[in-house]
Structure 1
Amino acid sequence: MNEKGSISLPYYEKARDLHQKHLVVDAHFDLLPLVLGKRLRGETRVIERDYLSSLREGGIGLVVSSLFVPNEYLPEMGLRRALDQVSALHAEMEESPGLFTLCRNTQEIRNARQKGQLAILLSFEGLEPVGNDLALLRIFYELGVRGIGMTWSRRNYAADGCFFNPVEEGQKGGLTEFGVKVAREAARLGMYLDISHLNDEGVEDLFHSYQGPVMASHSNCRALAPSMRNLTDDLIRKLASSGGVMGMNVCSTFVGNPDIKKLDEKDLADHVDHIRDLVGTDYVGFGFDFCDEMRDFTKPGPHRNYDCIKGHPHSVEFSAELLARGYSEADMVKLIGGNFLRFLEKTIG
């Protein structure tokens, strides 16, 4: 049931039942960047073969896939690489008909769930594909993209990202004039804004210039793990005041100190407790950002796994841990997906 044997069976069974009965949302998964890489090697039906069973085992009903462009393709190939990821999804849907579908609003998400399909939502993880051309944002909207993470952990025309580790840089900036225009255009089109990877200055600018709810799709609490990728208590309060939601990230560096111990679902649950104590249970969900599959491309730390939860099937154990801490069934329905669905209803319709 649990490889560590630390969660009692009744909590696990109740969590598994909740994951089957209610919509479970993963607000950040690098699905299409991974799929495109495999398709470029000649593979087909990648989602069906490599990802669908684990998503189903975890009861995941909606994944938000990033559109992410690695540094080596920038600046010349940013637009092309993002379009290739959208194209890869359409090719995958043709090869695996009826198993998963691109969704553009919450009604389509509900329709997919009724049909037993995995719902997929698209979101920028960095606006490099748009450059400084606001008209391209409308084109991507027509292609089905609904989320805007203005930055990854680097600078672009819209804003400055927050870096994972200290780096030498000049004066940090917040939102640029173009970034402010993006926020306004997002509101006009019906797209949501995601502040994960945006630096503190940019987040403050966004709260000042944008009146709608904002998402932090895959960020934890800086009070518990002092990474700039996490949110301060003050920013968590501002996000909650906007009506936004933040998704819990399994990356060990953002959960605690992986140099001291091997982290697990208990450590991640501490972040949920912290948010609950600050603002309640209406503003937190799942944004796992599973990265162990990418470990061959980066240097591992003392513990081989980057992720404190080992893939979507084990998200049930995370929910079981929350149940064991006394979260009610009503709270859990919100945490596993209801909060993000409410956010999407307010932003993309």
Structure 2
Amino acid sequence: MKAIDMHCDTIQKIYQHPQTTLRENAFQIDLLKMKASGTTLQNFAMFVPLDEVEDPYKTCREMISCYQRELSANADLIRPITTMQEFEENQQKGRLSALLTMEEGAPLEGRLDRLQEFYDLGVRMLTLTWNFKNELGYPNMLYWDEQTQTLSNEQKGLTETGIRIVQKMEELGMIIDVSHGSDQLVRDVLAHTTKPFVASHSNARTICHHPRNLPDELIQQIAERGGVIGINYYEDFIRPEGNQQSLVAGLVKHIKHFRAVGGIDCIGLGSDFDGIEENEELADIRAIEKIEQGLRDAGFSTDEIEKIFYRNVERLYTTCFS
């Protein structure tokens, strides 16, 4: 079955290991595995870990150059897209598609001209925060509070700069991604924007109580906005520590919960491959067939599975890129 994956960190792996290629590698995603899996469109995130890099902007630009080199070298298999018309053309010609995204807002340094710069480079989705506070807002993780000089997880959301950035993103046609963001950040995005947005790689907190997962309140509101939430394959976000349930069964449980809370139209895929630890059960992108079978075994119809695998994301991209 066709599939669209809203999140992976494969380009960071290739950037860190320049002897490797996107075409074929030992990572969780490469182009040959992607083609074998039925995945027609992969979001490639430029993941900038603030605890490891000195200059987020420089690192992000270097990663984009890496991405561009890999796509140019493999133009027989994959082409970048910035519109759904380009995606349709790639499908008609039997090519894979790549969507350039960013995971971390710090390279913007809070500047609207930087946002325009990255848009002009082809970025069509931005994860506002990773695990650290930046100029745009706060994550759903512990952060250093300068006022109290302590680690805190107090619910702070978008900054004033962040509000300006998300409003400009809507104007440009760049999709807002709230994965990693605090609950309040998601509420602030809802309050200051009007278009659908995504949580590209997040699960349900009711099923697995982890701060990176979404509470029911926000699942429902993202769904009501017409947004899509990408199911994350990371073990710690799927099942509580000590739970020995299979990962596929766990993912199906999250998907059932999303369907019950937000409806089938809010669910997508966001593997987080090459940003998560290897697991034998979900070894690489080809494991998607296990998820399809798990959903069928749980009584999901072909229509529902198609929505989860690609149609919901196609709908959202068509809306947001227009």
Q: What TM-score do you get using the length of structure 1 for normalisation?
A: 0.85
1:103, 1:120 within 8 Å by CA — same for their partners in 2?
yes
Q: 1:343 to 1:155 in 2, by over 3 A?
A: same
Aligned positions of 1:165-244 closer than 5 A: 168-169=151-152, 171-244=154-227
Tell me the percent identity: 27
Match of 1:339 in 2: 312
* Cα distance in 2 between the residues matched to 1:138 and 1:159: 19
Match of 2:9 among 6, 9, 30: 30
1:146, 1:191 within 8 Å by CA — same for their partners in 2?
yes
Unaligned ranges ≥5, structure 2: 145-149
Aligned positions of 1:147-158 closer than 5 A: 147-158=125-136
* Cα distance in 1 between the residues matched to 2:243 and 2:153: 33
Match of 1:113 among 91, 95, 105: 91
Secondary structure, counterpart of 1:231 in structure 2 = coil
Match of 2:22 among 47, 50, 54: 47
1:240, 1:283 within 8 Å by CA — same for their partners in 2?
yes
* Cα distance in 1 between the residues matched to 2:84 and 2:316: 10
For 1:182-217, what per-residue CA distance to the aligned partner results, in whole angstroms no more than 9, with x for missing partners? 111001111110110000111111111111111010
How far has the Cα of 1:48 moved from its partner?
A: 0.6
Aligned positions of 1:279-294 closer than 5 A: 279-291=262-274
More displaced stretch, 272-281 vs 161-170: 161-170
Q: 1:60 to 1:134 in 2, by over 3 A?
A: same
1:215, 1:246 within 8 Å by CA — same for their partners in 2?
yes
Q: What TM-score do you get using the length of structure 2 for normalisation?
A: 0.92
* Cα distance in 2 between the residues matched to 1:179 and 1:29: 24
* Cα distance in 2 between the residues matched to 1:87 and 1:202: 30
Unaligned ranges ≥5, structure 1: 1-18, 296-304
Secondary structure, counterpart of 1:65 in structure 2 = strand
How far has the Cα of 1:263 moved from its partner?
A: 3.2
Aligned positions of 1:256-275 closer than 5 A: 256-261=239-244, 263-275=246-258
Aligned positions of 1:68-147 closer than 5 A: 68-74=47-53, 76-147=54-125
Q: Is 2:294 aligned against 1:315?
A: no
How far has the Cα of 1:308 moved from its partner?
A: 5.5
* Cα distance in 2 between the residues matched to 1:170 and 1:274: 26
Secondary structure, counterpart of 1:121 in structure 2 = strand
Length, aligned pairs only: 313
1:164, 1:229 within 8 Å by CA — same for their partners in 2?
no
How far has the Cα of 1:96 moved from its partner?
A: 2.1
More displaced stretch, 254-263 vs 96-105: 254-263
1:265, 1:317 within 8 Å by CA — same for their partners in 2?
yes
How far has the Cα of 1:252 moved from its partner?
A: 0.7
Secondary structure, counterpart of 2:151 in structure 1 = coil
- When the two chains are superposed, the root-mean-square deviation of aligned CA atoms in Å is 2.0
Secondary structure, counterpart of 1:282 in structure 2 = helix
The amino acid across from 1:257 in the alignment is P
2:233, 2:251 within 8 Å by CA — same for their partners in 1?
yes
How far has the Cα of 1:170 moved from its partner?
A: 7.2
How far has the Cα of 1:162 moved from its partner?
A: 1.2
The amino acid across from 1:134 in the alignment is L
How far has the Cα of 1:258 moved from its partner?
A: 4.0
2:142, 2:153 within 8 Å by CA — same for their partners in 1?
no
For 1:310-338, what per-residue CA distance to the aligned partner results, in whole angstroms no more than 9, with x for missing partners? 21111111011111212111111111111
